[in-house]
A and B are shown apart, each in its own frame.
Chain A
């Protein structure tokens, strides 16, 4: 108890200091020292920064350590302290913070859908001090717009993830990298004796259970029906009961029929542990479909070393469509417009800052100016290369949906994996929730 009181006092003193600093700056006509459009991060210039920046992020454990290491040089240079809090309930916490007025200076943003809401409410501050053109050039195609509301920038990506990668155990899979779905099916057929089943899939993820399934549908739909249909579905223009969506589910249904442990394993296994049977003495599956971050789990959950696994990108399904990649990323926004918060965001956008995390691993930079050479292992380097070379890039579609539709999509995947004959009712329910989300 005594310790927390002391922390409390320290905190109060820091808050007092930082607010004094802000007031002081405001008095000297604050902001004048900020040259508009400067993107060189970490340079305090002639501005006197002090106090603290509070950050609410989604990273915990090793990711939190990496983030703190990333901000350390900035703290050293500016003398500002970063107070980081990790949370798994970020949207709820921010929603509550908006009501109570108790918000962090800088926070991770859960997805493009939330940005518009929070910007409209005036809680999320415009990032007009970031050079939008520069930022857009440095990020993969299609990223920058996702942080914009009415053409103004509110959220920026500092971290990216490539989705739809098929991981395999290098000592089980023969190394074939199929370019098309038919080749993939043939390769799975040919090697079927090497493992118990073709795929390992795990849906369990607490309140977000089912999301790995939504990734599957997105990957299939984008390559089977094309980017236009994909955009229509996730912007709410296309009905979920459309034949294209049904076909995507049907393709995924075939995958589900050939998974390790069947639907019981799928719905009861945490996504982080789902790939473990790849590395079992008697392999449970040949392939595991997941985003690039999964390598962290291979190391921690399955005890696999980087030489034990590799991946190939999701193969084309309709070969007449352009080669496409799905991905995601971590957005950052500002809730309290302070010079310290501005300076920190500028810094985090810089290739120098992002290289620090990239070197530690488990991180793909959202900044193309970060050289692929900094990545510690071949797999991450390859994933980063895929992102930089993508012909068509699409952001994780479910993150673009309204929260209630996204939840129903995830729950629908859980239901579908248990009983595929429910498809029609699952899809019409999704239509209903979509129509309803506007109310």
Chain B
């Protein structure tokens, strides 16, 4: 139900009683020959309630049950949602935190050696500990300051965490650029496709106006219809996909499509007696009409200006007319 709602359907209701309540109320059911009796069906639904699997019981597909995200995935999702600044900030914060931790550890028991001698205490020692933490986090490892004892484990942990965080920072940078590029490519492709659609529709229209009803004309009509059907499909896709196009562009495209449908229906109705259409031609026509009748102001997922809606309704209307002309052929 929520699936239908997501698809844009507004007038939805559910009958929770289902087949079971219907049968229990004594109403007739429809069933294919050789189906189980009413009692068996009821028993089937009842035993389903006791979680025993029964062949006719409603099936729940495992694919529909959302997989529980693992802790690792949740962590990765969380990292991905952070901005570049936040990621870099947390990396720096971690370096400072480990630096201070190394120094505090050193106060308890010698943990860092600077050129072989234990690190001195005081502000200089803290700075050296921070320096060591930075060297460790960037995995440079100059070797002038080395950890010992428990600090070795901490250094390893810091290197691993810092690497992970830093790789997130880098991927953020790369993906940002990539997203920009993808958007650019998408925009250019759409413009190119729109231009091609407009040109093709124009060509289809002028061809349709000039084609005659003779045998050669029928062949030409077949070729034009093939191009027209594919462009019609492209217009249909534009309306049903989430790309947003200016209403003025849509209106002009739809107007050409509607004129094309009208002219095509005119030509089909005026075909000479006994003219035979090939199978592929009829299939293309059928496909074109099926696409056209799906286009109407209230059928598409987005709301459009009244002019565009009217143009869509006209496409549907002409599609139905073409469907009639097509049936007359068969």
A binds B: no
